[in-house]
Amino acid sequence: MARKKSNNAKEKLEVKPVEITVQPITETIEKNFMPYAMSVIVARAIPEIDGFKPAHRKLLYTMYKMGLLTGARVKSANVVGQTMRLSPHGDAAIYETLVRLTRGNDTLLHPFIDSKGSFGKHYSSDMAYAAQRYTEVKLDPFCSELFSGINMNSVDFVPNYDNTTEEPLLLPTTFPNILVTPNLGIAVGMASKICSFNLAEVCDAATQMLMSPETTVNQLLDILVAPDFSNGADLIYSRSQLHEIYSAGRGSFRLRSRYVYDKSANCINITQIPYTTTIEAIIKRISDLVKDGKLKEITDFRDEIDLSGFKLTLDLRRGVDPDKLMLKLFKITPLEDSFDCNFNVLIDGIPRQLGVPELLDEWIRFRVGCIRRELTYQLDRQREKLHLLLALGKILLDIDKAIAIIRDTKLEKDVVPNLMDGFGIDQVQAEFIAEIKLRNLNREHILNRLQEIEDLQKEIADLELTVASDKKLKTLIVGQLKNVKKKYGKPRMTQLIYEDELVEYEEEEEIDTSDVRIVFTSEGYFKKVTKASLRGNDEFKLKDGDTIIYNADVPNNAELLFFSDLGQCYKAKVSDFEPQKAAELGEYIPVRLDFDEGERAVTMAVVTNFMHGNMIFIFQNGKGVRIPISAYETKTNRRKLTGAYSVSSPIVGIFQEDAPVDILLTSDGGRALVFSSNLIAVKTTRSSVGNAIFTLKEGQSVISASLCDLKSNPDAKSYRKTKIPSTGAKQILG
């Protein structure tokens, strides 16, 4: 018996082989993966030409059907529940979609939902929105432009997921919402990221395309200047980058935060940040940099968002340049961020990447179709009305006959056939006649109704002409666009920073501040020589006929101002030049600093403190002026300053003044004048023509200007004057 049981156990343990079906991977992808991928692309993630994804469209249409375009606000939970009739994805997903469309969330330039309650903020990932049972919503009046003509067959309707009701396939937007509402969608194998543009500019661009379909991208760039975002910030404008985005529907641009410096509190208040980042991401990055010791300029930072709007405050250490710090933060934190565009849009159910002109063309095609369907619907209703009124005209000839037919008919079902036979009208007309109230079967009422026939016939003729003409339909659309712009257009929120105005942060290297010898010559040659290489030899090699006009020891971190004969100033630092030997000629400044063709360096000034000293300019017409050195200070590393001094009269002499000096002027009339520089008026405007110093006779001019040492030039004492302007004294020759 035991052996038998053992055999039975073996039989139970026997496993039948599993049949494995071999399926090629291509077939698996085709049958299992592709339907899912296409469903996500076509019915979920990619927006269509009306600017909406299905989730947006289902929600807004539900609110429209609830009467929330004109009614009072209702609880968000009510809207979410009603929307589930069209969207089976659950209340949490629907409410999240609703939140991003509200005014309170600040995501859109033109919010579609007027909200009450806490809806979080687009620029904060931690600021959570309140539960749907606490918030209230209704449609913003702006939504009237989304549903214009929707009840007049302007778009197709399709059954919802359980065939219990219908929903629109698209919304008949009266403006190119695809370019006004920002959209981000990630599908399977593709994605879409569309930036928002200013509504007024979009309406103008669409109008231009309607009037001139051959409009080029460059022409559009003059109208649709650049993207515009709800939270403002600054857009770094590159026409070439935007041209690529407008042409191909793909590319990127940079957005930069906007800030103000509070001098009294020594802090920077950041008031607007790029659309693509959040305050939490910025704070985390700044915190990490402070901890790593890479951001020593900041003592504290905090989130000060309140009812007045966005605010991130940075407390600075004493002496920190706020503009230079912000340039550094733009480079190493999300305070400057890029927006990557990918204009993927569903056109007739097919995903296509389109540029701005193509998007506008497709929207125009779509909108022309909507208007034509809407007008056709109106035309059909007017024709039906005319058809009924023509029947009234027939019974007007014999009202008694109509009454007699109805009175003498024994069966109710025979009333309509008898009227049709009696007056030669069709069934629809007979039904209309049969339904007229007895009180309205009088000549006056019928005559009043018949007066509408002529107006109806004229209106029908106009509608038929309009429906048949693309030009007339486009004219109607232009009128609607102008009306939308007038009613809802707003100034740009995002301002532009042009690339030629852009200042990039350059990390400063440690500069040796020890003294070096610098030499500058009248021919424009400059050399820097270290003290070690001099070795007691102060003789410098020069070109034949050249002379030294500056030879002194200065700090290696001092700034140099080179003034040219064309009224321009070129800036450099001593540290910018490599040390040379005394036996070398030096660097030719017009070449090194890229002077204009034919421009010559007149003199050089060495500045260690822009708050101290002046520049003195003496002109050929006998005038002179003192300009504070501070007028040549720039917050950025600009190399060239135009309008460094007036060019209304040729320059004769330029001098740097740290303390009052004596200046000697001579004229071609044989006269000379010596005066103290503190007699010259100080002007804050660099281009000032100055005041008269040397009184000259007609046709005469100043021919030379030089610094004068009265101790080494006793004869010059006779030219000295204590008041200007002066005629000077006759020059002693010999």
Active-site hit among 64, 95, 129, 134:
134
What token pair was written down for 708? 């004068």
How far does CA 617 lie from the centroid of its chain?
A: 44
Q: For residue 199, what are the CA distances in angstroms to 54, 225, 339?
A: 22, 12, 19
632 is catalytic: no
Burial category of 77 from C-beta neighbours within 10 Å (exposed 0-12, middle 13-18, buried 19 and up) = middle
* List of E strands, 428-501: 495-498
What token pair was written down for 40? 């996500």
- Determine which helix (DSSP H) or strand (DSSP E) holds 588, and give its type and residue range: strand 587-588
The rounded distance, in Å, linking the Cα atoms of 710 and 620 is 23
List, in sequence order, every residue forming a beta bridge with 704; answer none if it has no partner: 666
The rounded distance, in Å, linking the Cα atoms of 30 and 20 is 20
What token pair was written down for 671? 């006269």
Amino acid at 205: A
Q: Alpha helix (H) ranges present in 413-451?
A: 415-423, 427-435, 443-450
The rounded distance, in Å, linking the Cα atoms of 302 and 323 is 19
The rounded distance, in Å, linking the Cα atoms of 469 and 472 is 5
The rounded distance, in Å, linking the Cα atoms of 731 and 694 is 14
| Residue 322, SS3 per DSSP | helix
H and E: helices and strands count for the chain:
21, 33
The rounded distance, in Å, linking the Cα atoms of 73 and 60 is 14
Left if phi > 0, otherwise alpha if psi is -120 to 50, otherwise beta: which for 41? alpha
- Could you tell me whether strands 495-498 and 234-237 are parallel, antiparallel, or unpaired per DSSP bridges? parallel
The rounded distance, in Å, linking the Cα atoms of 143 and 68 is 10
Contact by Cβ (8 Å): 19, 44: no
Contact by Cβ (8 Å): 198, 228: yes
Burial category of 270 from C-beta neighbours within 10 Å (exposed 0-12, middle 13-18, buried 19 and up) = buried
List, by residue number, the catalytic residues: 134
